[in-house]
Structure 1
C-alpha cells in the first residue's frame, strides 16, 4: 500500500475512510449510508498533534529554551503539524489500521507519532501516541472532528455537562480563570475531570457519544455546517500553561471512543 493511498475500513453497515496523505484525517464515516463528517479536504476529523488549539503567538518554552512555531492562524499557531503531514500506513486490515509519522521541522524535536484506528459496527476507537527519539519536550494530542450539523434532514442536538468553562480572552486563549459553563455558540474549552462525555443526537437518525479519559474538550459550533467536539490532552495554549513532558520512558498517549446507536 502506497503512502498516498486511502485506507477503507468496514464493519457491518459502517464504512470509514482514512486519508494518510492528508494529515491522516478521517475523510468519511458512514453509518447505514448516512455521512456523519463534514466533507472536504480541511474537514473530516484530523489529529491535533503535537499541540492542540492555539499556542500563544506561536511561542513556547521547554525549560529555559524558547521555541517559535509558524503562525498559521495569526497571531497564533494552531492545531499542530500532524494535519499538514503525510503519514505512513504501517498496517491495515478490514477493521483496524495503524499510521505513523516522524516529527520534523517546524517542530523543534525529533520523535514519532502513531495513530491507531479500530472500527466495529457500533463504535470507533482512535488512539494517539507521541514518543521522543532524543530530548524530552512538552506536547499535546487530540482530535478535531467536524460532525455534520444535519444528517438525513435531522439537526443535531449536543448534550454535555462540563464542570467548568475556561474563560476565553479577546485573543481566543484561556485567561486562566475557570467560570460556570455559559450558553453557546462556542469556540471554548471545558473541563470534565472524570473524562470527556458528550452526546450528539440527530433525532430519528442516530445518537453518538464522544468519550475519552482526557479531562479537556473544546466545543466549536460557530459554523452553520458542522459541530466540533474535540477531546484533547490539555487546553489551548497548554504547551505553556499545562506542559506535559514526553520523555524517553514516558510517551504521551491519548484515546477517544465514539459509540453510536441507530434511532
Structure 2
C-alpha cells in the first residue's frame, strides 16, 4: 500500500505487521532498509517485559520469551493486518489480538500524510473485546543515520525531564536520573509530550512529536537511529500499567513533520 502527497511517499506492508517499509521525501529514503527496516508497531507492550512475566490484578501471566530472557515489542509487529479503507494519502488497518496475548482485543492503525506532503501522522488504538487488560502502544522506527548523499550523519536534539536508569538487563531500575550523553539504548521521560528533532545537516530536518510521555532512543548501530514514542517505559506492564477497558480504549498518535532547507526545483533533496 503506497500513499503520496506533495513530494512525500510512504509505503505500508500490512502483511508484515502494518510496518512502514519506506518513507521517501523528495525522492530520498529516510528509513533503513534490509533486515531491520522501516518502522513497526509495538502493541500490546513496548520494549522488553522482564522474563515475559507480568501481573494483572492478582493473576500472573507468562508471555513467550523472544529476546534473551525477556519478551520484546509485543505480538503484532510481524503478523498480517487487514486494511479497512484507503485513498491517495490515508489508510486504516486493524489486527485482532489473539494468543499468546491472554485477552481478546483489537489494534487499529491509521496512517495519514499531510495534504502538502510535509508530515505524517500515525494513530494507534487498542480495544478490548470483553475483559480489561493492561497494555502499551508505540512505534519503533529505524531512521537512517546517513542519507547516503555525501552529507553528515544525523544529529539528535531533545530535552527530556529525566532518563530512566538502565540496569544490566537493559530494563529500567525504577530510578530516574539526569539525562546522560549517548550512545543510548535508553528510555527518557517527557511529561509534556515526546519532542525529538533529527537533523541531517544541510539536507533534512525531521521532528517526532507525540502526546505520549516516554521515548526510547537507540543509536548503538552504525546504520540507523531509533526514536520510539510509547505510552510507557520498557517493562511498563509491570511498572506503569495502563488499563484498557470496554469504555476506555488506549489511543496514541505521533506526528513526523519535516522540512528540507535546500529543496531543488523539482522537489528532490539538493
- TM class, shorter-length: over 0.9
- 1:134 lines up with 2:164 in the alignment: no
Counterpart of 1:3?
Answer: none
User: What's the CA shift for 1:45?
Assistant: 0.2
Of the candidates 83, 87, 98, which is equivalent to residue 93 of structure 1? 87
Counterpart of 1:204?
Answer: 202
Alignment gaps of 5+ in structure 1? 1-6
Alignment gaps of 5+ in structure 2? 262-270
Counterpart of 2:150?
Answer: 153
**3-state SS of the aligned residue for 1:82?**
coil
5 Å-filtered alignment, 1:31-110, equals: 31-110=25-104
Partners of 1:57 and 1:77 within 8 A in 2:
yes
Partners of 1:163 and 1:192 within 8 A in 2:
yes
**3-state SS of the aligned residue for 1:21?**
helix
5 Å-filtered alignment, 1:1-263, equals: 7-120=1-114, 121-151=117-147, 152-154=149-151, 155-263=153-261
The TM-score, its normalising length taken from structure 1, stands at 0.97
User: What's the CA shift for 1:217?
Assistant: 0.3
Measure the CA separation in 1 of the matches of 2:101 and 2:217.
Answer: 26
Partners of 2:36 and 2:142 within 8 A in 1:
no
Measure the CA separation in 2 of the matches of 1:41 and 1:150.
Answer: 17
User: What's the CA shift for 1:40?
Assistant: 2.5
Across the two proteins, how many residue pairs are aligned to each other? 257
Measure the CA separation in 2 of the matches of 1:74 and 1:239.
Answer: 18
Measure the CA separation in 1 of the matches of 2:247 and 2:240.
Answer: 20
Partners of 2:13 and 2:20 within 8 A in 1:
yes
The TM-score, its normalising length taken from structure 2, stands at 0.94
User: What's the CA shift for 1:43?
Assistant: 1.7
User: What's the CA shift for 1:84?
Assistant: 2.0
Counterpart of 1:4?
Answer: none
